[in-house]
Amino acid sequence: MATFVTNAGFANNTAAWHAYTSRPLYLSWGTGSGQTASSNALATAANESRATGTSSQQTTTVTSDTYRVAGTLTAGGSRAITELGIFDAAGSGNPPTGGNMDLYGDFSVINLATNDSIAFTFNTKVS
């Protein structure tokens, strides 16, 4: 038997994530890289509070097959960031802890001065 998720199934999956009360919505950056699927934290989290993002459904290949979180983080000091995590809770402390890191990405270093901001858009495509 051949099995697959239909186009409507992709949209239903992202709709469920977007509507879920504990959805990944809180952005945090750090200075590490290479986290694995079993990781639940950034390699080296920065001291800024997690930013509350906005979630939405987007179309990449078929209607509503992508879950998007967009938000802005502002540096409280000089930073050389290389990773972004999306968490299901705002967390507390400095750096913030708590909640689960549901989405992760690492990238080439971005050097920031105090009060520099980055508007992130994080897309997760269901395929």
2 HSE (CA, 13 A, CB side): 2
Q: What share of the chain is helix, strand, coil (3-state, %, to 5)?
A: 10, 45, 45
Q: Mean of the per-residue pLDDT values for the chain?
A: 92
Decide if 85 contacts 28 (C-beta within 8 A).
yes
Q: pTM of the full predicted structure?
A: 0.89
How many whole angstroms separate alpha carbon 50 and alpha carbon 88? Answer: 11
pLDDT, tens only, 29-62:
999 888 888 888 998 989 999 999 999 999 999 9
What pLDDT, on a 0 to 100 scale, did the predictor assign at position 20?
83
Using CB atoms within 10 Å of the CB of residue 89, give its burial: 0 to 12 exposed, 13 to 18 middle, 19+ buried: middle
